[in-house]
Structures are given as structure tokens and as C-alpha cells.
Amino acid sequence: MGDGAPNAVNHARRIVLGVDPGTLVTGFAVVSCRHDSLALLEAGSIRNQSRQSMPIRLRRIYEGLQSLIDRHHPDEFAIESAFYGKNAQSALKLGQARGVSILAAVEKEIPTTEYSPREVKQAVVGKGTASKEQVQYMVRALLHVKGEAMLLDTSDAIAVAICHLHRGTARPSRHKDWSSFVAAHPERIRS
């Protein structure tokens, strides 16, 4: 027992918190990987009401992710990056949800990585233009999830975590704290 073997096994395990941000529904997934075997530890969504004020919605996202982090102690955090849509107001709200999500991770000094929706779809389905339903099908197949109802936001978050685990850890967009994020992305900071 004193040969250190249990520590070697634990060292090979990685836990990733994947997030698909949104102000009404933020999907999350905690996925572990040990010796190329994936396991879903927890997945779901943080839901807000449209009648709630934006600050209340953002606080609920932040607190929900902080609670997940405290429960699972992920090694890494992966989030879907913003896509550019036609509606500026929606993009602004999505940016706010992404911001509090990233803050929840960097405050706990968890390295963060961003992936475009196309990167996530490519990594999980093999096609960057895959539909959300195709992503959900592949996520279910990869993790052997049967029959449970699952929101598309949840399966997207699972896909983000799987994408990160497939891509490895050597990515230039990882940040250990807020100042390293700001240093890497000064164009995203407004005075």
C-alpha cells in the first residue's frame, strides 16, 4: 500500500466544469476523465425567470457555479465563447452571463478555456455545423446516458467539457486568475 499507486491513479483523473452560458438558462456539466474513460458527475441548468432583473439573474448564475465548484473541485473550467448574432441586445446579455461564469472560475483559481460553438461541435460530432440535436445524441452516446430528459443547454455544456478533455490542456486562452485574463484580452475590457 505504501508504493504510491493510489496517488498515481488519482493524478490521472481530470475533472472539468463545462458551461453553456445564458441569462435565462445556463447549462453546466461536470465531467471526469480517467485513463480516457469519461464519466458524467453532474449536469443540469441554472434557470432564471424572464421577469427577474438582470443583476439577480447574474447573481444566481455566479452562485450556482460557485456551488458546483465547491462540490466537485474541478481542475479546469471550459466555456462556450460568444457567437456573433444579429441581435446586439442578446449578445450583450450573453456576454454578461459569460463574464460572471468566468469570474466564478477565476476567483477559485481554476484555469479557464474558451471554445467556439464550431470547435465544440467539431470535437464532439466531427462536424462544425452539427445541430444541437446531433450534439445531444453524441453526448448521450459518449457518456452512455439513456432515457433521461435533457435540455439542449445541458447537452451543450457537456459537449464543451468533452471538447476540452479531447483538446488537452495546452491552450493559449487558459487563465488562472482575472488579471491574466485581462492581460490576454485587453480589447474585452471597457473603461
Give the residue numbers marked as catalytic: 20, 80, 153
Cα–Cα distance for residue pair 23/106, rounded to 1 Å: 19
Orientation angle between helical segments 117-125 and 152-167, nearest 10 degrees: 80
DSSP strand E in the chain: where?
A: 14-20, 25-34, 37-47, 76-80, 112-115
**Residue 126, C-alpha cell as written in the block:** 466531427
| CA distances in angstroms from 19 to 2, 118, 136, 163, listed in the order given | 39, 15, 15, 12
Strands 25-34 and 37-47: antiparallel
